[in-house]
Amino acid sequence: MSYFIEALKKYAIFSGRARRKEYWMFSLFTAIIAIVLGVIGVVIKFPYLVIVFYLAILLPGVGVSIRRLHDVGRSGWWLFFGIIPIAGPITLLVFTCTDGKPGANQYGPNPKEVGGIPAHV
């Protein structure tokens, strides 16, 4: 849950890098919250509750996605590649599942390294 909160704190930060764990934990908690809100929305007869949630989470989601692409050495503009049917989402899935580039890159230091020593977490 801490990765989800950290991504929300950095909701409008599009620079830097995000680890795989940060990206996927954010995605997991977003999905869990959306499912819970969907059930609550059906119970209280307000199905738009999930849409309101997704609108609220849009900017942090874009931010963490761009930082994840930065971690693998790609520009944030690659996010637009996702609108291409079939090939786009598959390519972005591969990028988000790929381990980040070791060491610093043009987008910043490796978030896995703490003081130059790789953190094996």
Structure token digits, residue 108: 């910043």
Euclidean distance between CA atoms 121 and 118, whole angstroms:
9
Give the list of residues 6+ apart from residue 57 with CB closer than 8 angstroms, or none. Answer: 30
pLDDT tops 80 at residue 105 = yes
Average pLDDT, the chain: 91
* pTM score: 0.88
- Mean pLDDT value across residues 37-60: 95
What does the pLDDT read at residue 2?
Answer: 85
Report whether 18 contacts 64 (CB < 8 A). yes
- Mean pLDDT value across residues 33-53: 95
pLDDT tops 80 at residue 49 = yes
